[in-house]
Amino acid sequence: MSSREITEGRLRAALQRLLEGQPQNVKKNGKLTLNKINNEARLGRSYIHKFRDFIEDEANPAIEAFNKAYDPVAAKLLAENEERELTNEAKLKKELKAQERLKKEYKEERDELKAINQMLEVQNSSLMFRIYELQQELAVNNVVSISKGNQS
């Protein structure tokens, strides 16, 4: 099979999934368009337009029939129900985004704590040095002279 036949097969499969209401890569709601078929097949931008025969013979008649029967109100109600029942892929994507957000927050918090720790170390070193200076000052000023007095 040539790559053209494989790509056309992907387009046919994408169209069929969209007509059945079981898309894997795009949202179910909304009217059917060539772009939606293209995205469902996971092809590059406007790649579908290279397949004129597919567009004229299969896609356009299917799009017209689908869009004539399309009811936006019913589709909206259906989409709301489906949102409640997320697909496994959607659940995993949502969980992944949450994990990425937590990871980002953790890294920011870690960096902030490192900066705070570094400032505390500088302050601690400064205070320790000041203590050393004060001890030296006291040692010099605290000299007691012992006189040789009467020793019996």
Provide the residue ranges of all domains of the chain, joining segments of one domain with +: 3-85, 89-140
pLDDT of residue 152: 53
Could you read off the pLDDT of 57-108 as tens digits, one per residue?
Answer: 888 888 888 888 777 777 677 667 666 666 677 778 889 999 999 999 999 9
- For residues 28 and 78, is the Cβ–Cβ distance under 8 A? yes
Rounded to 5 degrees, φ, ψ at 25 are: -120, -10
Helix (H, G, I), strand (E, B) or coil at 29: coil
pTM over cut 0.75: no
Query: Are the beta carbons of 25 and 40 closer than 8 angstroms?
Result: yes
105-151: pLDDT as tens digits: 999 999 999 999 999 999 999 999 999 999 888 887 766 667 776 65
